[in-house]
Homo-oligomer: A and B are copies of this chain.
Amino acid sequence: MFPNTKEILRKARTIWALDHASSLMNWDIEVNMPTEGIQERGIAASEIALLRQKLLLDEELSSLMERAEKEELNDYERGLLRVLKREIKIAKSLPPELVQELTRVTQEAKVIWREAREKDDYNKFKPYLERIVELERKAADFLGYEKHPYDALLDLHEEGLTTDDALNIFSLLEPGIKKVLSKLEFYGEHWLEKQKYEIDAMRSLNLELLKILGYPLGSRSRFDVSAHPFTIHMGIRDVRITTRYEGFDFKRSFFSTLHEFGHALYELQVDDALMATPLSKGVSLGIHESQSRFWENIIGRSMEFVKGIQNILREKLSFLRDVPAEEIYRYFNIVKPSLIRTEADEVTYNLHIILRFKIELKMVEGSIRIEEVPEEWDNLMEDLIGIRPRSYKDGVLQDIHWSMGDIGYFPTYTLGNVISAQIRRCMMRDLPVYEDVERLEFGRIKNYLREKVHKWGSVYAPKELIKRSFNEDIDPQAFLEYLEEKYSGSYL
């Protein structure tokens, strides 16, 4: 598969090994590590990060790549060079002092953000956000961009995504979603949101769900508990997901399991031949999110899935015994304006992202001062979702992302939602998707995802992958069609 790039692969394998170790170290922090182990873990992680950087910037590697570019290369080899070049470019562009300063500031900012959110004190966090935006803006300048400094930050999180792309997506979604919302008659609470569950019963339900999905528990994957659910992969044959048990509102743990399963399946179905190479992982955050959202929303929140799984739900959770499928579907799909992004339904969710995108754009442009951000946040919230936060906690201080320096990250969530709807549209042309879903038969769906997306790992850049596999560009219309179809006036 790599006739002309063997030497490059050889060197890349060492970098892959360090990533393998770092993944395990990160997983361990969340799932297993004794609390006081954090200091030594931190030292080890930063040493390994530095070493990785050194290997990436090794001149021998660069000259091997230059030479390889003059050869006849196949898609795999071109992918290999693309991925490495991108990483090298980023590593070379950012001065070590800037990277160190960002690491230092964000490490502190993460702690301060937590305190500020607890005390509902924006002023505490403000100087950090100021500094982070400043540093990110500098990073953008070092990375370079054609039109807008935000392009550079977007690309950092999603290869090839530009501000124009994002503007195109959001300018279509904003009115489209508002229109769907305006036709919805039902907003409200659902009694199941307060319903408590036994953790053992819920764990048993999640395990049954994973079994039905064919998650290779024990042989190629794990399922653990952590404060925030996540997926991490050590390789194609070792992918691990987590969930959490809050003890009430069982759909949270249920859909987080399904969501992480979607991420995991992507990594598990990468072509074996890419093992231990830089191509052996999902290509981007956006494509990854399209997979998690596909399973969580497109499949998991469908009426067919509810019908298929209802007996298992009732068997595991006794309080569902007399609840009809329609009622469970309603509980899964209730749409209501919420201040908190992570609690939002699939209709309003992207409005939360639009809000963050608009603010990030202004912050990076410098067209808003950091002290104006909360006011801007609240105004946008009212405009987009129709409610106004009464605290910073429920407003500008709710997300951890900015404190970690992740500016340009949020749009990948919406990109994922959009692509999941595109995949749905295409898949439905080839497969009786929802018939399979109702029978809880996921073989063909998984196979389709493997052939179109998963097996390619990072061989193709995100846009190229979508174009090649679905013959489409990024098309937010697909997402609106999906919403319109599902959330017609009488959806509940």
Residue positions of A touching B, CB distance < 8 A: 13-14, 16-18, 20-22, 24-25, 28, 32-37, 39-41, 43-45, 47-48, 50-51, 216-222, 234-238, 240, 275-276
Can you report 15 residue pairs joining A to B where beta carbons are below 8 Å apart?
A14-B51, A17-B45, A18-B21, A20-B44, A21-B21, A21-B22, A21-B24, A24-B24, A32-B32, A34-B220, A34-B237, A39-B275, A40-B275, A41-B234, A41-B238
Are A219 and B36 in contact, with the CB atoms below 8 A?
yes
**A43 nearest CB neighbor, chain B only:** B276
A13 and B236 contacting across the interface, CB-CB below 8 Å: no
Known: A17-B44, A44-B20, A51-B17. A218 touches B37 (CB 8 A): no
Contact present for A222 and B32 (CB under 8 Å): yes
Q: How far, in whole Å, are A47 and B39 apart by their CA atoms in the complex?
A: 25
Q: Which of B13, B37, B219, B275 contacts A35 (CB 8 A)?
A: B219
Contacts of A18 in B (CB 8 A): 21, 48, 51
Nearest-CB residue, chain B, relative to A236: B40
Give chain B residues whose Cβ lies under 8 Å from the Cβ of A39: 237, 275
Choice from B47, B235, B236, B238 contacting A17 with Cβ under 8 Å: B47
* A44 lies within 8 A of B32 (CB): no
B-side contacts of A32, CB under 8 Å: 32, 222
Given the known inter-chain contacts A17-B47, A28-B24, A48-B18, please indicate yes or no for A37 contacting B237, CB distance below 8 A.
yes
Alpha-carbon gap, A10 to B139, bound state (A): 28
Query: In the complex, which residues of chain B have a beta carbon less than 8 angstroms from the beta carbon of A28?
Result: 24, 28
CB distance from A419 to the nearest CB of B (A): 28
| In the complex, residue of chain B having the shortest beta-carbon distance to the beta carbon of A235 | B40
Interchain CB contact under 8 A, B238 and A33: yes
Chain B residues within an 8 Å CB radius of A238: 33-34, 36-37, 40-41
Q: Is the CB of A13 within 8 A of B220?
A: no
In the complex, the answer to whether B25 meets A21 with C-beta atoms within 8 Å is: yes
Q: Do A216 and B17 touch across chains, with their CB atoms under 8 A apart?
A: no
With a CB–CB cut-off of 8 A, which chain B residues contact A218?
A: 34-35
Which residues of chain B have C-beta atoms less than 8 A from A35's C-beta? 218-220
In the complex, which residues of chain B have a beta carbon less than 8 angstroms from the beta carbon of A20? 40-41, 44
Chain B residues near A44 (CB, 8 Å)?
Answer: 16-17, 20-21, 234-235, 276
- Closest Cβ of chain B to A279, distance in Å, is 14
Q: A21-B25, A40-B235 are in contact. Are A216 and B275 (CB under 8 A)?
A: no
**Smallest CB gap from A37: residue in B:** B238
User: Apart from A20-B44, A43-B275, what 7 extra A-B contacts exist at CB < 8 Å?
Assistant: A13-B47, A17-B51, A24-B24, A34-B218, A34-B221, A37-B238, A41-B238
Q: Which chain B residue lies CB-closest to A222? A: B34
Nearest opposing residue in chain B for A20, CB measure: B44
Given the complex of chains A and B, what is the CA–CA distance between A45 and B13 in angstroms?
Answer: 11
Chain B residues contacting A222 (CB-CB under 8 Å) are 32, 34
| Residue in B closest to A14 when the chains form the complex, CB atoms | B47
| Closest partner residue, chain B, to A28 (CB atom) | B24
Known contacts A36-B220, A216-B34, A222-B34; A50/B234 CB under 8 A: no
For A17, the chain B residues whose CB sits under 8 A away are 43-45, 47-48, 51
Q: Kindly list chain B residues whose C-beta atoms are within 8 Å of the C-beta of A275.
A: 39-40, 43
Q: How far is the CA of A310 from the CA of B44 in the complex (A)?
A: 43
Looking at the assembled complex, report how far the CB atom of A482 sits from the nearest CB atom of chain B, in whole angstroms.
Answer: 34
> In angstroms, how far is the closest chain B Cβ from the Cβ of A213?
16
Complex CA gap A47/B9 in Å reads 12
Q: How far is the CB of A276 from chain B (nearest CB, A)?
A: 5
Q: Report, nearest first, the 6 A-B pairs whose CB atoms are least far apart.
A: A37-B238, A17-B47, A40-B235, A21-B21, A20-B44, A17-B44
A224 to chain B, nearest CB (A): 9
- Whole-angstrom CA separation of A216 from B37 in the bound complex: 12
